[in-house]
Amino acid sequence: MNFKTKSISLAFALVAVAPLSAVQAEDAVIAQSDTINVASVSAVNTFNRNLKKETNINAAPSEDGIHDPANDSTHVLQPPKEAFSGFVTSKFGNYVDWVKTLEEGKINPRWDRINPAEEAFVMDMDIVREVKSSVPDVIFPHRQHTEWLACANCHPTIFIPQQNANQFNMSSILLGKDCGVCHGKVSFPVTTKSCGLCHSKPKPADWEPPMSQASLKNPWK
């Protein structure tokens, strides 16, 4: 774009902006800052080394940017670092291995808000999702999930309860859908250190990448 066309489009932009009322202009500013917040607040899945790393992990409520430090009640809340002490640690997320912490009986979460005697309905059923690329296949374990969650947390809204009836991939997960509805938000995130937790089934020794019909007909040599 040369200088002349640039100044013309700038002039157009000024004309377009000028008739906006004060209220409209304010809306536009709010809408813009909302979009910015969505990107920065959800520190979801910041495995990409180009993205900023969170520095103050498990910050106290008054410093976590979520709770209002000016509110006295914020300071009554127990800081996560204190609450998590003695738990089994992990290398990502909030640095707690919640599955092992539960298994080792270090916590005893209440299953039902009202009835303290209600127990989890744990179902031990692994679902294998074969991945077309060379990474290990994904094992979705029902056991670890149903220790924390009810069937209805996933079925049928997030996943139709039928193997391979749902289509998902890393992109949808990183965008917060499918496994990403929880992973990266309330359960361990996608980081370079967590790939193996989901991709846990090694490919068979004779595995070869699937080829398209075109490359099968005209193999490139």
What is the nearest approach in angstroms of ligand HEC to the Cβ of residue 16?
Answer: 40
Residues 96-155 that bind ligand HEC (CB under 6 A): 98-99, 121, 123, 127, 129, 131, 133, 135, 138, 140-142, 144-146, 148-149, 151, 153-155
CA 99, CA 147: separation in Å to the nearest integer?
9
**Through-space distance between the first and last CA atoms of the chain, rounded to whole angstroms:** 44
Using CB atoms within 10 A of its CB, is residue 94 exposed (0-12), middle (13-18) or buried (19+)?
Answer: middle
Q: Which residues contact 48 (CB under 8 A, 6 or more apart)?
A: none
Closest CA to 92 of 170, 188, 180: 188
Nearest distance in Å: CB 36, ligand HEC: 26
- Which residue, among 191, 198, 201, 126, has the nearest Cα to 168 in the 3D structure? 198
Please give the residues from 175 up to 214 whose contact with ligand HEC meets the rule CB under 6 A.
178-179, 181-183, 186-188, 190, 192, 194-195, 197-199
43-102 binders of ligand HEC (CB under 6 A): 47, 98-99
Q: How far is the CB of 177 from ligand HEC (least distance, A)?
A: 9
Using CA atoms, how far residue 110 sits from 87, 93, 202, in Å, is: 17, 23, 36
Q: Which residues contribute to the site for ligand HEC (CB under 6 A)? A: 47, 98-99, 121, 123, 127, 129, 131, 133, 135, 138, 140-142, 144-146, 148-149, 151, 153-155, 158-159, 161-166, 168-171, 173, 178-179, 181-183, 186-188, 190, 192, 194-195, 197-199
